[in-house]
Amino acid sequence: MLGQLPFPFDSFYSASKYAIEGLAATLRIEVEPFGIKVALIQPAQVSTTFAAKRQPPQEGSPYRERATRFIERDKVLVRKGLTPTQVAATIVKVINSKNPNFFNEITIRDRALMSVTTVTPYRLRDAILVRHMGIKE
């Protein structure tokens, strides 16, 4: 989902997701004449140890306080997140689909979030995200 919904303090990770989305969108057009389907799987937080490795910026950084709050909030969301098994089930479903959707969210809530994100003005979307992640000044 971070290919469309940027998370603060995850700039490099979000950038990699944006890049994958652009690659997949272009590849889809290129390989479709050969009967090859391209699809993206868009889970929200997945309950793994990946995010646990994230560290706050060094002492004295102007980002430290907000980034620390963000990281703590994200840990809570990850603990409540999807399991790898749930994500894998969606991947299998998409692979076995004759005509998969290009975007494939895992839950109805994720689908609704992405739908709202695409029609919400950036300033409002960002304000909601900042508030939800506990990093509003």
Domain edges within the chain: 11-132
Structure tokens at 1: 């989902």
| Pairing of the two strands 103-105 and 40-42 | parallel
To the question of domain 11-132 being in CATH 3.40.50.1360, the answer is no
- Does 126 score more than 80 pLDDT? yes
At residue 134, φ and ψ (nearest 5 deg) are: 70, 30
User: Is 135 or 91 the better-scoring residue by pLDDT?
Assistant: 91
**pLDDT band of 12, cuts 50, 70, 90:** confident
At 45, the pLDDT band (50, 70, 90 cuts) reads: confident
Answer yes or no: is pLDDT of 137 > 90.
no
- Assess whether pLDDT exceeds 80 at residue 1: no
Local structure of 132: helix, strand or coil? helix
Greatest CA separation found in the chain? 55
* Mean pLDDT across 105-134: 84
DSSP 18-45: HHHHHHHHHHHHHHGGGT----EEE-S-
pLDDT of residue 62: 92
Is residue 21 a contact partner of residue 62, using CB atoms and an 8 Å limit?
A: no
Which residue has tokens 């140890």? 49
Tokens of 31: 């390989």
pLDDT, tens digit, 9 for 90 and up, residues 83-116: 999 999 999 999 999 999 999 988 888 888 788 7
Say which DSSP state 123 is in: H
- As a whole number of angstroms, the distance between CA 27 and CA 31 comes to 6
- Which band of pLDDT confidence, cut at 50, 70 and 90, is reported for residue 35? very high
Average pLDDT over residues 12-35: 94
